[in-house]
Amino acid sequence: MGILSGKTALITGASAGIGRATALKMAEAGAKVVVSDIVVEAGEETAAMIRAAGGEAIFVRADVALADDVEALVAKAIDTYGRIDCACNNAGIEGRIAPLVDQPIDNFDRIMAVNARGTFLCMKAEIAAMLKTGGGSIVNIASVAGLIGFPGLSPYVASKHAINGMTKNAALEYGKAGIRVNSICPGGVDTRMLDSLADQATGGTRSSAQMMDPMHPIGRIGKPDEIAEAIVWLCSPAASFVTGINMPVDGGFVAQ
């Protein structure tokens, strides 16, 4: 019996990277998984990987910045599996690197729409569902950029600080209802997002690992599976007394 046996888990941004790793780890832990993303082919592939390994999974396309999409996603999860016990709100974008004065307004608006508004909309729908079934656990994916500043990334930093703030507030509001809400703050992780940031920062002259490995006291960037392990733990009964935290999983990055 896995640590999440009998549970239903919903993961956004699950077509690749941390989201896909989390969906697979949730399934390994025994959960039925609702995989969501705006990238249909890769999202379907994540769900197929779970089913091929003997698990249960469906894919639902949803843009987390759109309230109707999020409400339909949660409704589909409930229609299919009856409830949502665990949710990982992972969908996010990085946007452009530029000093604040040079940041395009539409870049700020899009990042906030996906990262901050998207997390808000997902929590709003997920918590409403969990209140009807006696509780659950939500893990929001923030960033070390939600704990400290990063020159050139003002909109991204703002969005991730917003996620960490909403996480604390929701934990306070719904703790007595049996709903735990936490966030994970990854350091550099080997994903397409980090590759995009490295390309912007170095003009494609250095890989994300070459750029970021030395910045981490552990000596390397993380792997999506390492972040997924922490997410599964926070969703599990093993973390039953943990709520309202913004948990770095960052190879010591913010300890510096």
* Strand order across the 179-186 sheet: 57-61, 32-37, 8-11, 86-89, 136-141, 179-186, 246-249
Mark the ranges of the chain whose per-residue pLDDT is less than 70: none
Are 60 and 31 members of one domain? yes
C-alpha–C-alpha distance, residues 75 and 32, integer Å:
15
In 27-178, the DSSP E strands lie at 32-37, 57-61, 86-89, 136-141
Residues 130 and 203 in one domain: no
Asked whether residue 128 is assigned to any structural domain, the reply reads: yes
Q: Would you say residue 2 lies in a domain? A: no
Is position 156 annotated as part of the catalytic site?
Answer: yes
The answer to the question of residue 167 being in a domain is yes
One domain, residues 212 and 175: no
Q: Give the domain extent around 134.
A: 8-187+227-240
pTM exceeds cut of 0.85: yes
The alpha carbon torsion through 29, 185, 74, 111 (nearest 10 deg) reads: -150
Q: Which listed residue (156, 198, 230, 231) is catalytic?
A: 156
Q: Are residues 88 and 141 in the same domain?
A: yes
- Same domain for 109 and 195? no
In a shared domain, residues 161 and 198: no
CATH number assigned to the domain comprising residue 46: 3.40.50.720
48 and 141 fall within a common domain: yes
Structure tokens at 236: 């599990």
Q: What's the pLDDT at 253?
A: 96
Q: Per the domain annotation, does 245 fall within a domain?
A: no
Task: Extract the runs of DSSP E, i.e. beta strands, from the chain.
Answer: 8-11, 32-37, 57-61, 86-89, 136-141, 179-186, 246-249
The pLDDT score that the predictor gives to residue 1 is 76
Domain total for the chain? 2
